Chains A and B, each alone.
Chain A
Amino acid sequence: MEFWLPIIYMAAMGLALLIYVILDGYDLGVGMLIPLADEREKDVMIASIGPFWDANETWIVLGVGILLIAFPTAHGIVLSHLYLPVTFMLMGLILRGVAFDLRVKAGDHRRRLWNNAFFAGSLIASVSQGWMLGAYITGLSTTVAGLLFPLLIALTLPALYLLLGSGWLIMKTEGDLQARSLDWARAAVLPMGVGLLLVSVATPLVSPAIAGKWFSLPNFLYLAPIPLITAGSYLAILRVLARDLRPGRAEWHLFGLTVLICVTASLGLAYSLFPDVIIGRMTIWEASASVNALLFTLVGVAMTLPMIIGYTVIVYRIFHGKAGELRYD
């Protein structure tokens, strides 16, 4: 139990954060695209994420919650290290969550203000998350490289969200807006590729142990599918983006391929990290909470997680298809 429980929780935390990046990624992406659209399109874009954004954001609370439940020592260290980006991210999330409602409820004279707040909040939250991810990958290092790297990721993670966001809009919208979403995706794909490459190159450089895990035989061969699928998906995205959308063509390709990259990238990251919860500093067993506390929560996870997944699927089924006009009744 003392061996397996931390592993189970590490997997659950990784899964929650992966689901967060995909789900809140697309709605943060849509938020950052808002200024590029006209008034009517803004309403359609917001209607396309309306029923989902709240539950999407809950996944980060679950991810941080698991960090807290299972690895309380690491929770304190990570979050007090990331104090500033966490604060900025929270302010961004607050601003956009509120702007979502206030842009239609505070009166027409305030609409522009809240549209801008929605954009700014989405951008601030995305950039801060990139900063957090970058700092985490460097093992919370405070050297110059350790400070420059998060900056680069802060500038490129939003590109991933933009790609997810435009992929989402291609599925959920029609006509002009759909065509423009494709153009937005074309602009986002290159910076997103740069960010992906940076993360892939940086993680082995951070610690020789990680480099050893990847670049020794036979590990290298077993692991080859991860970079290969990632690179293949990226090339496939480039191909999808090279052509225009035509009626009858499948619209989920861009979103699906971007999700696939998220999945393989996080698998690679998980392999690099394991068994550390903070790279080079603390393993999951060193940071683990008591067996009693972990078992108590595991019962709850086992009961509620299938239900959560069940009604998440129900919600997505109820609201499947193209987003219509925005209505709040």
Chain B
Amino acid sequence: MDATVLARIQFATNISFHILFPAITIGLAWILLFFRLRFTFTGNRAWEYAYFFWVKVFALTFALGVVSGITMSFQFGTNWPGFMEKAGNVAGPLLGYEVLSAFFLEASFLGIMLFGKHRVSNRIHLVSTFLVAFGTTLSAFWILALNSWMQTPDGTHMEAGRVVVDNWWAVIFNPSFPYRFLHMLTASFLTAAFLIAGVSAWRARRGVDGPGTWQVMRTGVFLAAILAPAQIFIGDLHGLNTLAHQPAKVAAMEAVWDTERGVPFTLFAWPDEATRSNRMAVEIPYAASLILKHDPQGEVRGLNEFRGQHPPVAMVFWSFRVMLAMGGLMLLVAWWGAWSLRGQRRAGPSLLLALSAMTFAGWVAVLAGWYVTEIGRQPWIVSGLLRVEDVVADHASATVAGTLLGYGLLYGFLLVSYIGALRHMATRPAASLALGPARLVPQAGKPA
């Protein structure tokens, strides 16, 4: 196989594996802070149990995020040396700021958060928990600034084949950044919300629920009930922004071949690039124009305007539909759950089943969404400036294929182990919690 394709598959494998864990920890860190604050202010031990249980999941998830993230930092160089050579003036400083401002912060205070409860005051421990949450979000800020710049570059010009920065503010706050940042943060909170609600529902179904289980389930369900519709709204704004700056991506998302007015929304189809048409299309008339232009007669630019410069259509089209379907499903289950759990009511067996089935719903939606935006950027690595094929390393295909196989096996094994450990912790919380009395109760004389 072509070494460029292999390098892309390898990078995609790594980054897909990596994003699973930050997608949980960014949201979960703030949820943990919420549990800690609820316990500090109410004294209700249920919140303490909730914190104890989920901080262990957080530590494991965080570790997976860190080690797969280290892999990413090296693979920029091993797989895409040309990218660093040509766009290093932008990529270097943004990644540098991420390491300096976020990585050390979260890694250092995570130590205090996980192991320091008996060595520091409640207040310092709360501050550490806050700094870990803040660090994860800051990390997302920098890496999404870089990713967004690659999608919608601004504030730079090319000089002798290299990117040179004119205005750092414009680089960081490039046109797609605010939307992508908000979309990803909300996605992370939704992922964490469905995870905590799903695991709690699973425990309730199994009859191994503890004191904090129902509080956690309610937190997850109500959070999701608010954020799921908000995410659909933010996603729409993000889509309009993409339409303005990356019309070829949107054309692929909707499989629109010719520039037309009154474009239908294609529910189902097999986009065929050979014939440049959709097979077996099921369409809703005028809906795409309505969604994209907020006008049933709005004009949408088709893929044929971008021949040779547009992404592979079927993958982007289908990833987008998977994301939309997951989003809709999450909204339905979250609202159903919020209605059923209102006013301290308990969930019935069918809701518990639905919630536990949706435990990893966030992962599916996050991956599908990232496939839309990243595959949708092809054939560019930096839209309009640098092509992927021009920056790839010249490793032998066999070398890349061999290491890809190694990573694939390792990641498969780790994913099974992660979910297995989650299951083990959920089944036997008492054993893994080893709870003692009054661990978090503020010491006498020290203000909370």
Contact = CB atoms under 8 A, between A and B. Distances in A.
Interface of A: 47, 50-52, 54-55, 57-58, 60-62, 64-66, 68-70, 72-73, 75-80, 82-84, 86-87, 90-91, 93-95, 97-98, 100-102, 104-107, 110, 289-290, 292-293, 296-297, 300-301, 304-305, 308, 311-312, 314-315, 318-319, 327-329
A61 to B, nearest CB: 5
B296 interface: no
Interface in B127-182: 162, 164-165, 168
Contacts of B71: 90, 94
Contacts of A106: 417, 420-421, 424
A83 B63 contact: no
Nearest to B104: A308
A319 B116 contact: yes
A65 B95 contact: yes
Contacts, number: 222
A98 B416 CA distance: 12
Interface of B: 52, 55-56, 59-60, 62-64, 66-71, 73-74, 76-78, 81-82, 84-85, 88-93, 95-97, 99-101, 103-105, 107-112, 114-117, 119-120, 162, 164-165, 168, 393-395, 399, 403, 406-407, 410, 414, 417, 420-421, 424-425, 428, 432-435, 439
A54 B66 contact: yes
A54 to B, nearest CB: 4
Dominant secondary structure at the A interface = helix
Given A58-B104, A318-B119, A101 B60 contact: yes
A315 B71 CA distance: 26
Closest 6 CB pairs of A and B: A76-B81, A72-B88, A79-B77, A51-B111, A69-B92, A97-B67
Nearest to A62: B99
B77 A93 contact: no
Contacts of A70: 92
Contacts of B119: 318-319
A93 B411 CA distance: 13
A290 B89 contact: yes
Given A87-B78, A87-B406, 19 more contacts: A51-B115, A58-B103, A65-B73, A65-B92, A72-B85, A75-B88, A76-B85, A79-B74, A80-B394, A101-B59, A104-B432, A105-B432, A106-B421, A107-B424, A107-B428, A292-B89, A293-B93, A315-B109, A329-B52
5 contacts: A68-B91, A69-B92, A69-B96, A308-B100, A315-B112
Nearest to A121: B67
A271 to B, nearest CB: 26
Contact of A55 (B104, B414, B424): B104
Contact of B439 (A51, A93, A102, A329): A329
Contacts of B414: 94, 98
Contacts of B69: 61
Contacts of B55: 329
Question: Which residue, A86, A308, A318, A329, has most C-beta atoms of chain B within 10 A?
Answer: A329
Dominant secondary structure at the B interface = helix
A289 B92 contact: yes
B101 A304 contact: yes
Nearest to B407: A91
A329 B103 contact: no
Nearest to B90: A293
A6 B56 CA distance: 43
A79 B69 CA distance: 16
A50 B78 contact: no
Contact of B70 (A60, A66, A110): A60
A50 B410 contact: no
A120 to B, nearest CB: 12
A54 B63 contact: yes
B59 A328 contact: yes
A58 B78 contact: no
B168 A328 contact: no
Contact of A105 (B99, B395, B425): B425
A76 B59 contact: no
A305 B89 CA distance: 21
A222 B85 CA distance: 38
B131 to A, nearest CB: 9
